[in-house]
Amino acid sequence: MRTEDHRVPLFPIFLKLDGCRCLVVGAGPVGESKIASLLEAGADVRVVSPDATRTVRDWAGEGRLVWVRRRFEPDDLRDEGGRDVRLVIAALPAGEDLARIADEARRRGVLCNAVDVPDHCDFYYPAVVRRGDLQIAISTSGHSPALAQRLRRELEAQFGHEYGQWLEDLGQARRALFAAGVEAAERTRLLHELASGEAFARYRASRVPDPDIPALGSGKVFLVGAGPGDPELLTLRALRVIGMADVVFHDDLVPAEVLELVPPGAQVRSVGKRHGTHHISQEGINALLIEGARAGRVVVRLKGGDVSIFGRANEEMQALSQAGVAFEVVPGVTAVSGAAAAAGVSLTDRATSSAVVLVTAQVCRGHARPDWGALVASGATLAIYMPGQRYDRIAGDLLRARLPPETPCLVVSRASQPDEMVRRTSVRDIASGVPGPAPAILIVGEVVGRRPAAGVGGPSGSRETDPGA
């Protein structure tokens, strides 16, 4: 008994079709895209369809394909010499001859793809990133072409067009090493070194006058915001920069799912702190960034949220400037935005608050504490970063500043991550209840009380508690 195709394990291959007869049944907009990909692969294309798009008609007029103006017949699966075609694409509306074409193709051993009908497919069209001879193909076994397209866009941002020419150069180098008779082990070592991320950074620097890429013999530091945690909240710019990193220095709160995006050959090191314990001083971090850039590396300093919000980025920028090291800031989604999204609330509202104030509960030694009286008097929504275990002290400060005790609050822990927690409370009751895991953010203001309709708000996996419910 045949199992449904979308449950069958797939064997990924890249197929040579140059000069091979391929059949496309249907020449509408969908068929046109399939025909284009076959022509690009050098296939001998025959199209069977009563009508065709203007582009397909032009291709036929130019002699790039043969167009037969009628409906499908079984003998279309053979060429003039009586040989079966290599594959057939059925680009027709659902139900229109698809089963007949698929059955006839399988009877003859011809590979068939019925567009958008997985049960009639022997293979699927992947979403493809093309950079010259470099091709990255993505398949979801027909379950979600939309997901495949989204991943393709992300990979296109990560792998620029310069990869095509670089791959050609790598191919020439490989052929030269074989021709020179270099011993196998040494040849393998050299080829891996030539294909490394560091070698690619040097290649781009020597070929492309791009301000993103350090000049040959020098490096560059990228201060990158990793967002609140969910890798899908990374910017495309951040994704691209991470993908070309030689070394990554990250905060402890950057999740493993984001670190998995770092290239396999790159050095990854945690330089963050947890619960007040430093792995390394800020001066030590600055020295590592400078050292890496001076060694000609692409250095990524990866911080949770946005680098310019309570991330000590200014200290690192000053150190890099004084050392004459090139750097760039790549902003990220800050924690309060992720927290508000998780709880399904807006940070501003025309009826209750026209401003948002970002403030940290972590006060450095020798620095003044926030002027809670002025903040409360402003009427702004308060986004309090790094509350830690200071909820009792924060509540006292807000009450002494004459904020009404019933003012609604949100405590959002690990926003956008699988173990995200949302706790609804009030200023009076902030300190009651069990605090969630770090990182957390406290949002205070009337906007918190303007709750969305049932079923609207954060991700379905988030946990929410409401002592007042």
Cβ(258)–Cβ(190) below 8 Å = no
> In terms of DSSP bridges, do strands 381-385 and 440-444 run parallel, antiparallel, or are they unpaired?
antiparallel
CA 201 to chain centre: 21
Q: What sign for the dihedral angle of Cα 252, 255, 261, 265?
A: positive
CA 176 to chain centre: 37
CB burial string 173-190: b at 16+ within 10 A, e below: eeeebeeeeeeeeeeeee
**Residues 6 or more apart in contact with residue 185 via CB below 8 angstroms:** none
Cβ(229)–Cβ(416) below 8 Å = yes
Cβ(68)–Cβ(47) below 8 Å = yes
CA distance 430 to 409: 8
Query: Phi and psi at residue 58, in whole multiples of 5°?
Result: -65, -45
| Alpha helices (H) in 41-144, listed in sequence order | 54-61, 98-108
Q: Which residue has the tokens 């994704």?
A: 239
- Please work out, in degrees rounded to the nearest 5, the angle formed at the alpha carbon of residue 412 by the alpha carbons of 408 and 417: 155
Give me the active site residues, please. 251, 273
SS3 288: helix
CA distance 221 to 243: 14
Q: What sign for the dihedral angle of Cα 303, 307, 312, 318?
A: positive
Cβ(23)–Cβ(46) below 8 Å = yes
Cβ(286)–Cβ(232) below 8 Å = no
The residues facing 418 across adjacent strands are none
CA distance 27 to 51: 7
Q: How would you classify residue 296: left for phi > 0, otherwise alpha for psi between -120 and 50, otherwise beta?
A: left
CA distance 466 to 123: 50
Q: What does the block give as tokens for 428?
A: 């009076």
- 99 burial class (0-12, 13-18, 19+ CB within 10 angstroms)? middle
Alpha-carbon Rg for the chain, nearest whole angstrom, is 29
